[in-house]
C-alpha cells in the first residue's frame, strides 16, 4: 500500500487537472495552484469528494509539500513557477521531490536539475504521452530524466496516473525523448491524413478501409484513435492542440539544429501545421492536419 504524501500540483489544464484528480483520489494530501486563480477554484468545486487546499503562489504550494508536480505551458512559464521569487524552489525543503511534466527544452530541464541539486531536492523531468484521454484514464506514459533515486522517490505518486514509467537517462533525457515522440507523431498524422484523403476521393467505405489496413504494418495510435473522427471532420475536444504541437516541434527542430541532425520530414509537417493555423485551426486537435488537404468527394 502506497504511503500518503503531501503533494502539490501546479498547473490544472487539460493534463494537469486530471492528474490532480488521480493524486487526490489515491489518498494523497493535495494542494493545487494555477496561475489563473479561477481555474483552481473551479477545480475544487468540480471535485467535492477530494479534500484539497488552494495555494496563492507556487512558493506557498511547495512550503509544506513532500513532492511538487508542475504541468504548465513552456520554458518561460516553468522558469517563473519554479525559479522565480515566488517559485517552488524558494520554499521546497531539502529532501523534497520535484517532478515536471511540461514539454520544454532540455536546456531548462538541465538548469532546473542543477538548481535542485544545490537545494538537495530530487528532480525529475518527466514529459508525458497518451494525450488527454490518457490523463483522464490514468494511463499516461512518462519519459523520465534524472537520477535513479529521484525517479524511485517520485514513482509511488506517479503510478496514480500513469501506466508506464520509463527512466530514459540523466536530467534532460526525458525532454529529448519527448522530442523523438513528437517527431514520430508528426510523421504518422501526415501519413494518415494523406491516406484518408485518397480513400475518400476513391469513394471507398472508410470504415472498411480502416478495418482492412489497421491490423497490419500501417497500424498506429493515430489511425486507431483518429481515423473515424478525421473522416468526419471532427477535430475539437481531443485535448492536444496544434498550437502546442508546433511548440513541441519547434523544440525538436532547435535541438536537431544544435546536434547537426537533419529533420526534413519534421520541418515539412511543422509548416503544414502552420497552414492549418492560418485556417484558424490552432486550437484544434493535431489530427486537423488533414484540413490542409482538400476533400475531393467520397463518403
One of 178, 208, 247, 299 is an active-site residue; which one?
A: 178
Stated as kind and residue range, the H or E segment containing 14 is none
* 178 in catalytic set: yes
Q: Is 142 helix (H, G, I), strand (E, B) or coil?
A: strand
What is the spatial distance between Cα 21 and Cα 42, in angstroms, rounded to a whole number? Answer: 13
- What is each CA distance from 52 to 56, 69, 86, 155, 236, in whole angstroms? 13, 15, 21, 21, 30
Output the nine-digit C-alpha cell for 162: 500513469
What is the spatial distance between Cα 270 and Cα 272, in angstroms, rounded to a whole number? Answer: 5
What is the spatial distance between Cα 230 and Cα 197, in angstroms, rounded to a whole number? Answer: 10
Return the closest-CA partner of residue 66 out of 34, 29, 33: 29
Return the closest-CA partner of residue 3 out of 128, 138, 132, 159: 159
Buried b (16+ CB within 10 A) or exposed e, 244-278: bbbbbbebbbebbeeeeeebeebeebbebbeebbe
Query: Catalytic residue positions?
Result: 178
Amino acid at each position: 500500500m502506497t504511503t500518503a504524501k503531501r503533494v502539490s500540483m501546479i498547473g490544472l489544464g487539460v493534463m494537469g487537472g486530471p492528474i490532480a484528480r488521480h493524486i487526490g483520489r489515491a489518498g494523497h494530501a493535495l494542494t493545487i495552484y494555477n496561475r489563473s486563480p479561477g481555474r483552481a477554484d473551479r477545480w475544487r468545486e468540480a471535485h467535492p469528494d477530494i479534500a484539497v487546499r488552494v495555494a496563492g503562489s507556487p512558493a506557498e504550494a511547495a512550503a509544506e509539500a513532500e513532492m511538487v508536480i508542475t504541468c504548465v505551458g513552456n520554458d518561460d512559464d516553468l522558469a517563473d513557477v519554479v525559479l522565480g521569487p515566488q517559485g517552488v524552489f524558494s520554499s521546497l525543503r531539502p529532501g523534497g521531490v520535484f517532478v515536471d511534466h511540461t514539454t520544454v527544452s532540455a536546456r531548462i530541464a538541465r538548469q532546473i536539475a542543477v538548481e535542485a541539486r544545490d537545494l538537495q531536492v530530487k528532480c525529475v523531468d518527466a514529459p508525458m504521452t497518451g494525450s488527454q484521454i490518457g490523463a483522464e484514464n490514468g494511463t499516461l506514459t512518462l519519459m523520465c530524466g534524472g537520477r535513479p533515486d529521484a525517479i524511485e522517490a517520485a514513482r509511488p505518486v506517479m503510478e496514480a496516473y500513469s501506466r508506464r514509467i520509463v527512466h530514459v537517462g540523466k536530467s534532460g533525457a526525458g525532454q529529448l525523448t519527448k522530442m523523438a515522440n513528437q517527431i514520430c507523431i508528426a510523421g504518422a498524422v501526415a501519413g494518415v491524413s494523406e491516406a484518408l484523403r485518397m480513400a475518400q476521393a476513391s469513394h471507398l467505405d472508410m470504415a472498411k478501409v480502416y478495418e482492412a489496413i489497421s491490423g497490419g504494418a500501417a497500424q498506429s495510435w493515430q489511425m486507431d484513435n483518429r481515423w473515424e473522427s478525421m473522416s468526419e471532420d471532427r477535430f475539437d475536444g481531443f485535448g492536444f492542440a496544434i498550437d502546442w504541437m508546433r511548440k513541441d516541434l519547434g523544440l525538436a527542430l532547435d535541438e536537431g539544429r544544435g546536434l547537426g541532425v537533419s529533420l526534413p520530414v519534421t520541418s515539412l509537417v511543422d509548416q503544414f501545421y502552420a497552414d492549418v493555423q492560418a485556417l484558424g485551426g490552432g486550437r484544434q486537435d493535431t489530427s486537423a492536419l488533414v484540413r490542409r488537404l482538400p476533400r475531393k468527394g467520397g463518403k
